[in-house]
Amino acid sequence: MKGFGMNPASLDWAFVDKLRKFTKMKIVLKGIEAPEDAKLAVEHGVDGVLVSNHGGRAMETGRATIEDLPEVVDAVNGRIPVFVDGGIRRGSDALKALALGATAVGIGRPYLWALTSFGQAGVERALEILTAELRLAMRQCGMPTLARINKSAVILHDSRS
């Protein structure tokens, strides 16, 4: 398990099997965007998937992760948690992702911007703002608890057509 570098071309499902045997720790695969890969992730025994295109930094012409999410959620069918990041900028973005079946959402650049502008206090404030916005959006959709969030909060367009 050494010498894999940052983006090794040799990363394949055999590698995931090796990793699974190597550790009892939880394995969450980051960068899953396709339902086919999500199914394979379950079959290869990982504990969760993170729908991510690395903030569009890896391949900026792909779909947004919010568009990938429903297909991945369908493919996983409740067997493991599905996380998502990429473009979450407001509490309402988080609500949409949760409504589409995400177990939780992540942010990247928003906390980096807050950190570089205002340090730790900035990050804490950014999280406060996002949480307050999420609570407000939930109330406005008549979904006052996380358990009450469901698909009716969003209208889907077919992003493959």
Ligand X SMILES: Cc1cc2nc3c(=O)[nH]c(=O)nc-3n(C[C@H](O)[C@H](O)[C@H](O)COP(=O)(O)O)c2cc1C
Return residues touching ligand X (CB under 6 A).
Answer: 30, 52, 54-55, 57, 85-88, 107-110
Looking at the Cβ atoms of 69 and 143, the one nearer to ligand X is 69
Integer distance in angstroms from the first to the last C-alpha of the chain? 42
Looking at the Cβ atoms of 61 and 161, the one nearer to ligand X is 61
Instruction: Write down the least CB distance from residue 77 to ligand X, Å.
Output: 24
Looking at the Cβ atoms of 53 and 143, the one nearer to ligand X is 53
Report d(CA 45, CA 146) in Å as an integer.
27
**Residue nearest to ligand X as judged by C-beta position:** 108
Instruction: Write down the least CB distance from residue 156 to ligand X, Å.
Output: 21
Instruction: Write down the least CB distance from residue 54 to ligand X, Å.
Output: 4
Tokens of 70: 């429903």
Question: Annotated active-site positions, please?
Answer: 54
Beta-sheet strand order (sheet of 28-30): 28-30, 48-51, 82-85, 104-106
Looking at the Cβ atoms of 134 and 143, the one nearer to ligand X is 134
State which H helix or E strand residue 82 sits in: strand 82-85
Report d(CA 138, CA 149) in Å as an integer.
7
Q: Name 51's bridge partners.
A: 84
Report d(CA 116, CA 9) in Å as an integer.
33
